[in-house]
Amino acid sequence: MRTIVLFAGCLFLLTSIASAQNFRGLDQSPLDMAYYPDNFAHDRESGDEAVLKVIYSRPQLKGREMFGEKVPYGKVWRTGANEATEIKVYEDVTIGGKTLPAGHYALFTIPNEDEWTVIFNSALDYWGAYSYDESNDVLRATASVSSLDEPVEAFTIQFDDAGSGKAMMRIAWDQTVAELPIVVND
């Protein structure tokens, strides 16, 4: 009996080692997430509750020119890498004067030089923007665009507190930042 247990243990160990050798490694565009308010994720003692959470993949610049080149102007973009970016809205918010109901949405953008269209779409779990369907758009809003002095290497989405129940969603990469004001409804 002891021989069988020893044999089974060795077989398990060899199988585990072989499986580990086939592990594909880290994704080149790892997942990240951002919350509003930001201290929700870092200071649970604050008593703040999450209003927004965005989950996205972070491609790297790697010396490439992004907007207008790798990410073409005027076309729907997944807003990051891999699967389409997703945003969870925990309570109704107002964006561009329109109400976005609490829910879970895909976040697409249409980058342009002077402004971006930010799209909240009800279809989830899609790779990229290949299956994007405008008929599933729940809300579209316009984000202002400005240039940064220093390039942002890793694609980044963050929320900043803009005071008085307002948040600013910032989407930055390369030397571009798009900003979308969001009002938290009470």
> Could you report the per-residue pLDDT of 35-84, keeping only the tens digit for each?
998 766 555 555 668 899 999 999 999 988 899 889 999 999 999 999 99
Residue 129 confidence (pLDDT): 85
Residue 2 confidence (pLDDT): 63
Domain ranges of the chain: 27-184
Q: In angstroms, what CA-CA distances link 167 with 102, 149, 155, 181?
A: 16, 23, 20, 6
Q: Which residues contact 30 (CB under 8 A, 6 or more apart)?
A: 57, 58
| pTM of structure | 0.83
Whole-number Å distance between alpha carbons of 111 and 126: 20
Whether 172 shows a pLDDT value over 80: the answer reads: yes
Whether 101 shows a pLDDT value over 60: the answer reads: yes
Q: Which residues contact 50 (CB under 8 A, 6 or more apart)?
A: 35, 36, 37, 40, 41, 90
